[in-house]
Amino acid sequence: MLIKSVAIVVACAAAAPAFSQGLVIPSQDVFAVERALAAGKQLSATIDLTRCTGDTPNVPAGTTRGGLTVSAYRVLPDSTLSFADTHFTVRSDGTPITQFLRYTIEPTGTAHFASYIFAMPTYALQSQVSYTCKLGDGVKLFVQY
């Protein structure tokens, strides 16, 4: 009994930082994620393009990973969840660009990711790629409670 009590105390102490910032739960159930969003919970997403496939033959194999906190989202009548991110950044040569990232997650667990890069200040399209991933593999969702 004492061993179980010690284990529980150690486990709670280890989890304390997670509770102070909110418990983050991985969820690959689109419907559960939608319910959490409707309740005002925060959603984060990660993507590993090495685990995804290009949508056209000329799309190179993915080599990058990243993530975002979802600030806005929409749910379509068929329960498809979509969200996006836009940011200014610079290429390695210092050239300024704007990147638009779009995520669409179908109720079946298929996730689509698209990236559009525009030159600044003209907004001339520099590149466009899209990938298909599996929710829980290439794309992962995390809800903060």
Dump pLDDT digits (tens) for 57-84.
888 889 999 999 999 999 999 999 999 9
Give the distance, in angstroms, between the CA of residue 34 and the centroid of all CA atoms in the same chain: 14
Q: What is the pLDDT of residues 92-118, one digit of tens each?
A: 999 999 999 999 999 999 999 999 999
Is the per-residue pLDDT at 6 higher than 80? no
On the question of pLDDT at 2 being above 60, the answer is no
The CA distances from residue 14 to 92, 117, 134, in Å, are 40, 42, 31
- Beta strand 110-119 with 96-105 is antiparallel
Q: What is the pTM of this model?
A: 0.79
3-state helix, strand, coil in the chain (%, to 5): 20, 45, 30
Q: What is the structure's pLDDT at 7?
A: 32
The predicted pLDDT at position 60 comes to 84
Long-range pairs for 23-26: beta carbons < 8 A, 24 or more residues apart? 23/144, 23/145, 24/142, 24/143, 24/144, 24/145, 25/142, 25/143, 25/144, 25/145, 26/140, 26/141, 26/142
Cis amide leading into 121 (omega within 30): yes
Whole-number Å distance between alpha carbons of 75 and 106: 10
- pLDDT at residue 22, as a whole number: 65
Provide the pLDDT for residue 25. 75
In the chain, domain spans: 20-144
The pLDDT tens digits of the residues spanning 8-44 come to 333 333 333 443 456 777 778 899 999 999 999 999 9
Q: Percent of the chain, pLDDT > 90?
A: 73
